[in-house]
Amino acid sequence: MEQEETRGIAILGSTGSIGTQALEVISEQPDRFRAEVLTAGRNADLLIEQAKRYRPNAVVIGDEAQYQKVSDALWNLDIKTYAGSEALEQVVEMEGVDIVLTALVGFAGLKPTMRAIKAGKHIALANKETLVVAGELVTKAAREAGVNLYPVDSEHSAIFQCLVGEFHNPIEKIYLTASGGPFRGKTRTELEDVKKEQALKHPNWDMGAKITIDSATLMNKGLEVIEAKWLFALRPDQIDVIVHPQSIIHSIVQFEDGSMKAQMGLPDMKLPIQYALAYPERLKTDFPRFNFMDYPSLTFEQADTSTFKNLALAYEVMEKGGSAPCAMNAANEIAVEAFLKDQIGFLEINEMINHSVQNTAFSKQPSLEDYLEIDKEARQKAREWIN
């Protein structure tokens, strides 16, 4: 088989959990991938360290106050250095970039992803909020540009893997699996006084703070439900969530003949990252292998939407459509930040999001500019709730 050329990867958010694991994948597959662009928000020290090791063509530091520090550290390495949000959007258009891995957290991923699509770059999508906020806009732009969206979330990667060779067969239903997070089985009374330290202890996955809190409230699963709707062109009633505490089955597709396909494996984000970057190939790895005897029993439970109301809210805004998911996502980002700063309690996260969604203007068919305005307004309403 003829050896493919290396693919140039732009990692938006290279210093975060997904970004650092993506760089490990690049290290392990040097003849297949190269780091072409690395970007970070504020973590200049780690960005400098990564740039020195991986020698990308360009780096971007979001925090403009740290531009000089990064520039001074890299000036003699022939690495282009930029700063600010506009540079982040422009850098995805560079000629050497084949795939853009969007590993930014939250709404910040939307504009650079849209820019990359318009530049004809394939997207490895680890930023679920991009599709939650503007799924219709993003998928339409990708279709028009002939660009592929490769899912990186383990659940959506699992669905994607189950659909290979099946794209002509209609999906009857998909099941997104959830670990249940650190508070699975708890009552609302038991959750009244939980602290952020408890919420940040995820049983199976090692993730950043924001996504870990989202997992504890089941908002993460709600965001994934909306993302799945857009990625796989599904109706809300075709998407179900089941709690699977062992996190071995990553998701399941049910076809119209009743047959089901599941994708299984140990919880390790490097596998879906590599699959997205290398598709349609599966590259040999030395990742740990699954042993059935270590997991003699795989169990399943119904998701508890009366205790974890964020999941129910996600289904509501998905049904409503338009700008409603954008408002929910914006309010959730503010609520998680407030919880991490001990400004609100765990159960108040949902109350705060609800307040914001109910009081933010609604648009049935928003433009990109509308989404930016609605995001801003929903954040403002959420902050008002705290005060």
- What number is the average pLDDT over the span 108-115? 92
Does the pLDDT at position 24 exceed 70? yes
* pLDDT tens sequence across 158-167: 999 999 999 8
What's the rounded Cα separation, in Å, for the pair 188 and 309? 10
* pLDDT tens sequence across 159-201: 999 999 998 999 999 999 999 989 999 999 999 999 999 988 8
- What number is the average pLDDT over the span 209-230? 94
Per the DSSP assignment, residues forming a β-bridge with 81 are 59
CATH topology of domain 321-387: Rna Polymerase Sigma Factor; Chain: A (1.10.1740)
Domain edges within the chain: 7-151, 156-268+302-319, 321-387
Residue 366: asked if its preceding bond is cis (omega within 30°), the reply is: no
Can you say whether the dihedral through the CA atoms of 95, 98, 22, 124 is positive or negative? positive
What's the rounded Cα separation, in Å, for the pair 69 and 47? 11
* pLDDT tens sequence across 124-139: 999 888 999 999 999 9
CATH topology of domain 7-151: Rossmann fold (3.40.50)
Can you say whether the dihedral through the CA atoms of 297, 300, 306, 311 is positive or negative? positive
Place of tokens 């403002």: 380
Does the pLDDT at position 367 exceed 90? yes
Q: What is the pLDDT of residue 201?
A: 82
| Three-class SS of 283-341 | CCCCCCCCCHHHCCCCCCEECCCCCCHHHHHHHHHHHHCCCHHHHHHHHHHHHHHHHHC
What's the rounded Cα separation, in Å, for the pair 311 and 307? 10
Spatial contact of 176 and 239, defined as CB atoms under 8 Å apart:
yes
| Token couple for 107 | 């709404």
Q: What is the pLDDT of residue 3?
A: 53
Q: What is the pLDDT of residue 205?
A: 63
- What number is the average pLDDT over the span 251-263? 98
Does the pLDDT at position 1 exceed 70? no
| Token couple for 194 | 């939980």
Does the pLDDT at position 4 exceed 80? no
CA triple 147-153-156, angle to 5 deg: 70
Q: What is the pLDDT of residue 2?
A: 47
